[in-house]
Structure 1
């Protein structure tokens, strides 16, 4: 399953693997280079990456690590503000 008669892996299987690697590592350049090493052309590798990213974005996942950092900072600020409000409203 997933293999074509000429022993090459289906593009759908590659896209699933690329999506998993994007979720785990998020390094597009490394994944692109890996696809090139597997024998894909630059256009095919780019197409696979774009398709994988689009599918991830369609389900609400952002592979951009800087976005996660910003979300974490905002959450920490929110928690600190709530803690200060709780302290000044109920403890003092």
Structure 2
């Protein structure tokens, strides 16, 4: 899935104009890395039980799929962020 950004994102002196997500190319190691990065706390603990439901996990997985830092994903405008996390959720098999 390619996503052309409505406005570029700049992170660590790199400008991103589009992101290319390869969810099908993810490895188990990348899935574990995405889950590892989740923040601590009660809500994260509950979401950690079923990470597929966590928007944070979906965003971290999307970052792995696009090969960009997580911070780039969370800097996206809300509409793009929701589109990205929705695609990650669908890849994970979570239905609406």
State the TM-score, normalizing by the size of structure 2.
0.32
Between structure 1 and structure 2, the one with the greater Rg is 1
Q: Which protein is richer in strand relative to its size?
A: 2
Q: Which has the higher contact order (CA 8 A, sep 6+)?
A: 2
State the TM-score, normalizing by the size of structure 1.
0.33
